[in-house]
Amino acid sequence: MSFKKVSMGMAIALALSAGSAVAAVPGDTGTITFHGMVSNTTCKVSLDQKIDQSGNDFDVTLDTVSVADFGTTALGTTSTLGQKKFNLALTGCDTATVAKASAQFNSWAGSTSTEGGLLVPPANAQGSAKNVNLVLSNDGNTKTDLVKIDQTNNTQQATVDTSGAAKLYYKVAYTQGQGWDQTTNPVSAGTVQAQVAFTMNYEYMLRCVLKS
């Protein structure tokens, strides 16, 4: 038995591409072979097993904190300020083919990310807090490291059980923005809203039948 990784984008993960004109050069030719697989079904994804969500669009609400809670030193990527834990629960997976699942997170709808992978809310949102980023981390399946937004680095994988279910565990917290300075560029009060798009990555089982 062997495994094959296949990425499957959820409804909120949208990719746009732009083309450019390129002149063909005689002799510069080759071939590309694409390999894929069609499964009977993909998994149904829910947030904390809630079923009152709209499709694959979910909301996670952090605790309300005060400006003073950010303190006098940088909280960095290990911040637990206002932390909220959540999970992506998978059900209805095809147990005959799907072995494991993981998720990739990318900034979305005006949100961006820092070089270090922190999530940055849109800067022009009316009434928004200033100098506040969000830090997303793994929180289960033996992984507790930082999930870097817009980077292919997430190492957490969930094994699909015999009922076709699996869970991916995460936590999100506030941290200061990259330009934060307590004296000259402090945190200011306001709302914090940022979005990520997630893409589920499924690891499929490939069965080989040997005939004599």
- State yes or no: pLDDT of 3 exceeds 50: no
What are the tens digits of pLDDT across the range 56-105? 678 888 889 999 999 999 999 999 999 999 999 999 998 888 899 999 99
- State yes or no: pLDDT of 212 exceeds 60: no
What are the tens digits of pLDDT across the range 193-207? 898 988 888 888 765
Average pLDDT over residues 50-55: 54
What are the tens digits of pLDDT across the range 181-190? 999 999 999 9
Q: What residues have CB less than 8 Å from 7, skipping those under 6 apart?
A: 104, 199, 200, 201, 202
CB 160 within 8 A of CB 100: yes
> Residue 1 has what pLDDT?
44
What are the tens digits of pLDDT across the range 137-188? 999 999 999 999 999 887 899 999 999 999 999 999 999 998 899 999 999 9
What are the tens digits of pLDDT across the range 25-47? 455 555 454 545 454 457 888 88
> Residue 120 has what pLDDT?
94
| pLDDT over 90, % of the chain | 48
CB 114 within 8 A of CB 133: yes
In a 10 Å sphere around its CB, with 0-12 CB exposed, 13-18 middle and 19+ buried, how is residue 211 labelled? Answer: exposed
Cα separation, 91 vs 47, in Å, equals 11
